Structure 1
């Protein structure tokens, strides 16, 4: 099946919209599956170093449970076909393999039992020794017709943009997010990860989106969640909502959560008296936190600390809440 040029342009637009978080991830994946004549499709994200063997399944369109588990584990880890396709960095069909795929464990245990006779894997990254495995798009069909050469080439050329679907974002951060959530109109849509594994409840996540709207600017802050450590949170406008990206992070310079609150407000020009009143602590305690932060960050004065705070997102959710509250009081915002 070979779609015309108009279809490929629409697919590219759909991929970009989902990559920016402006559309659900399954929209372009469904378009690929239906437009290229497959029965099932799955988008599998890159492996994270701490996740063990399984790679995260971001989208599953009609693969049975046993097949999708096999694809995201055994196929991704052990199958020579997957390794061959990933190393060659091109979309691979069964007929492109240098051996009879029907003799493989993947065909015997996952594909044949479900009636699949043809398939394709699109690698979404480069496989390098000692690095986590990249994500991929897998498709299967119950008919035996391989994808045309023209469509194979066009799909391969879109691979770098399709890779953005494994980590939707408005900007290019230094590391993949553990959680990406779209918030708008009082609801949320998880695009990457599991909300239950993140540091915020659904209600708090919606509140972060509201704070973004109220402050009128993208947010970047650090948050400590009990025994699960530190998280780095950023927000960006997208479509008619807000895209919230959350990733685990090291505690910056060993600042305590309260010191981070103080630094966040200090970087906005707040005085010790104003910070103390907003956080409900004494001025003396505020001064102690400032002095401790100066020493930990390694800067000589408040001006230098402000500069470092802006460069390194040394801010907190409580500080941002204080800023939003200050817009209705005499405190500076």
Structure 2
């Protein structure tokens, strides 16, 4: 059975990661009922490596237990926020299906400390939860001692989910992740468009670091993808993990002063013509008042379109914003 959160070391080569994933998949092959028709492993995730010089002291995320999948082929689904060091990952995990902790055709939660190199894992008691329950997974750092760091991991308000660890290497790589094994069809995913990993709070010491999440859409065979809705990690951050395609897109994250204007441009990965696009700047703070004052397209010699837009801040305060849009 799979433990969740196969650590993807940010400094490892892509070849070593594939080799490790294949090795781990072979170890659990005997537990699979069928060869998966869809890609498996880490499906989509957002990540950030703490390079501030101050260890992560708190990382919490709130999400809602999604509807059950419409079909059951023995698949396993993991949703979690987590922190990793060079070999181990620490994570409060929501799971559907079987794992090394148990489980089945139901939603359950547990805290995990797992090793992606040896497959060894430790976990708290698996506790069943219900569709619609609101979960908050929290990891906090304790005291640093000569032999390493101590951490605590649990789901707020859910008994028996705490899993403390002691004297370990500093945890530095922070992730919001969808991980899936054994899915045969689109209906083996939760029966909803996406799960919002919201109210993200991340602190290094007493300060919230200023950074941009890195998105990795590793498996996209049914349109799975990750959207960063709000980069702020002071309790308002949000990363949406999509199980299927969305009818709109988000791109970029910026800040603009009151009265200022900014010009932005967008491309679609070399696509010759992505069709007409509605593009607007969306404020992420309540006081934001942004006006998209112009939009345009330009065509290069290869026949590729670039989309341009200008935003103006008509509000009294500086504001963070994200571009969103849609088209054919």
On whether the aligned pair clears a TM of 0.5, the verdict is no
Which has the larger Rg? 1
Q: TM-score, normalised to structure 2's length? A: 0.28
Structure with the bigger RCO (C-alpha within 8 Å, sep 6+) is 2
Bigger fraction of residues in strand: 2
